[in-house]
Amino acid sequence: MGVLDHDVEGRIQYAKFENFYLVNVYVPNSGQQLNPLDYRRQWDADFLSYLKNLEKTKPIIAFEDSNVTLLRLGSFVL
């Protein structure tokens, strides 16, 4: 991504193909208490900038585990 604070975690994998980029990402988890929410918001903004920069040269196919759930049923708490 080009941002040292994020790159050390190795959350992004990408492959360059002739006609597109394939991007896979594991997004930081803010947890139920939303403790690292500021970091997550900055990460989201930086990742969007990264994708927009890639998109300047080729289309992108992106997959992500975004660590969000719309309903409590989608989460599991011990």
Task: Please check if 65 is assigned to a binding site.
Answer: yes
Task: Please check if 53 is assigned to a binding site.
Answer: no
Length of the chain: 78
C-beta of residue 25 within 8 angstroms of C-beta of residue 58: no
Catalytic, 65? Answer yes
User: At CA 25, angle to CA 19 and CA 29, rounded to 5?
Assistant: 160
Catalytic, 38? Answer no
Query: Which of the residues 26, 38, 46, 50 is marked catalytic?
Result: 26
Query: Which of the residues 5, 38, 44, 65 is marked catalytic?
Result: 65
Binding residue positions for Mg(2+): 65, 67
Catalytic residues: 26, 65
